[in-house]
Structure 1
């Protein structure tokens, strides 16, 4: 009996002292941007000693991130060991009420530590060599169309519309856009000659760019992307459009301020690490660090801007 009690006591003490493994929900199937965010950030958090156990990654596809969002809000609102991958796509869908009435203030956006730069590409043999060439073709009434990995009204579509507005095109609704299932499919449409151009993210075109199958007319960042210095920005071509798909995290709203700040500090440590800088360079990501309490306010501003443009093109009423 004494031996059994001693064993139970030891087991209890070990259990009480055990460190709970953090979990990162990727709101999509393996292989996408949210999955990349969870796996890369999760791995580096462990590698640099910010967590004591490897981060568990859970893929929860559904509703363009809506299933994961609802699960966090309704079932895990106070889980301090949970982080969730987020991006500009999250903000866009919240702005367009794609999550069935869910709002950004139902979670806490803890930060972003990298951005997948928006890009506009055409086939390698296209006669178009600049954004001006592309926009002038639209103004001339040429048969110009775009493919992107988001649905009509999604972020890939909005990138083209922002550029069109900058160029003075007023009837932006007339621009042809085809939403397909991911960036790879969008590039295939363009390479195959079914669309004039592809609108997407840098990470989606890296392989095709290196293979010489496409040429990038512009990257939608303020400065050229390290490792891709031969791709000009839209800004230097006279367009003010900056459109990046930031990569970051949100956490449940009901966690303590102390835990929220801890996650902010951990995410900042990842952003400063050599491991994250290597991951960004290998995947065409640009530096983009906004961590802590002001990030929620920044996200709110992005959502308001996206909502206004979405109303202009009739995506929402």
Structure 2
């Protein structure tokens, strides 16, 4: 069971013209909502918008945090009190799409948001503390095979979430029943990383994009990236799950933004235009790649159509995994 990556048509090169940006786009009070606590992937996604849209939008993008239910509080807020907010975008990831697919957001699903633009593509990663006795992914899986409950795994998502799915794919690769693993759920990647560094979990099934600063600080070690091909620096020396022999343990992650479903066409198109202009700049590319992500330039209706397809694919995968009927 493997997540489906964006098609080659969707992973486009940065081909928008890099000139003619003298006219900045007017968005009154631009805000990016990170639906978790500071730290982790949603925070990262908003920081990309904040940095990457400088010089494109007249006012600086403010980042606010709305933790709760791995995005549930945010999607509820943008379907009740802020459904037509013209100034706000909300960060989402493949995990959010999975939650929409399996009904974890209650009555709200992919039809209740207006997908706006992509930030980039991220990848799952298997992470331990720098002083962990686990020196390789093989060490972790050997310990799990000996005693599935003897290794404490954890991440920023509950059972059935994308972070849980990463761990489940990993243990299934060794023929271990995922229901037997010891998994601790946190409310976001920041809390999960704190749990790893604090010793409450031993292995963190996180994301490449949220760990670059920790790698620089020397506090963690990345055992594997959940992809088929190696990523560029700073992950060029990190093996992939595929090259280590775990071909099904692959997890690409799209990161992007949505708006309330009742926003005006004028407001929606202003944000779409801002992202399309940003995609053509060196600053955007540096911002995205500096966080360990692969640039993916999709905005507007094309991006929305791709996300709707992806949700449906995830719904089918969730059915195969027995998460939904």
After the TM superposition, which segments of 4 or more aligned residues of structure 1 sit over 6 Å from their partners?
none
Determine which structure has greater relative contact order: mean sequence separation of CA pairs < 8 Å that are 6+ residues apart, divided by chain length. Answer: 2
1:101 equivalenced with 2:107 (yes/no): yes
Other-structure match for 2:292: 284
TM-score normalized with structure 1 length: 0.77
Who wins on radius of gyration, i.e. which is larger? 1
User: How big is the shift at 1:311?
Assistant: 5.2
Q: Measured at CA, do residues 130 and 301 of structure 1 come closer, stay the same or move farther in structure 2, by a change above 3 Å?
A: farther
Q: In 1, are the aligned partners of 2:158 and 2:164 still within 8 Å (CA)?
A: yes
Q: In 1, are the aligned partners of 2:41 and 2:210 still within 8 Å (CA)?
A: no
Q: In 1, are the aligned partners of 2:95 and 2:161 still within 8 Å (CA)?
A: yes
Other-structure match for 1:4: none
Unaligned ranges ≥5, structure 2:
1-25
User: How big is the shift at 1:200?
Assistant: 0.8
Other-structure match for 2:89: 83
Structure 2: distance between partners of 1:197 and 1:64: 20
User: How big is the shift at 1:91?
Assistant: 1.4
User: How big is the shift at 1:196?
Assistant: 3.9
Deviates more, 1:243-252 or 1:21-30: 21-30
Unaligned ranges ≥5, structure 1:
1-18
Structure 1: distance between partners of 2:212 and 2:103: 32
Structure 2: distance between partners of 1:198 and 1:152: 14
Partner SS state of residue 251, structure 1: strand
Other-structure match for 2:151: 144
Structure 1: distance between partners of 2:265 and 2:190: 40
Partner SS state of residue 93, structure 1: helix
User: How big is the shift at 1:128?
Assistant: 4.0
Q: In 2, are the aligned partners of 1:149 and 1:182 still within 8 Å (CA)?
A: yes
User: Is the helix fraction higher in 1 or 2?
Assistant: 1
Structure 1: distance between partners of 2:60 and 2:217: 35
User: How big is the shift at 1:274?
Assistant: 2.3
1:214 equivalenced with 2:227 (yes/no): no
> C-alpha root-mean-square deviation of aligned residues, in Å?
3.3
Q: In 1, are the aligned partners of 2:128 and 2:196 still within 8 Å (CA)?
A: yes
Q: In 2, are the aligned partners of 1:119 and 1:218 still within 8 Å (CA)?
A: yes
Q: Measured at CA, do residues 230 and 308 of structure 1 come closer, stay the same or move farther in structure 2, by a change above 3 Å?
A: same
Structure 2: distance between partners of 1:311 and 1:170: 20
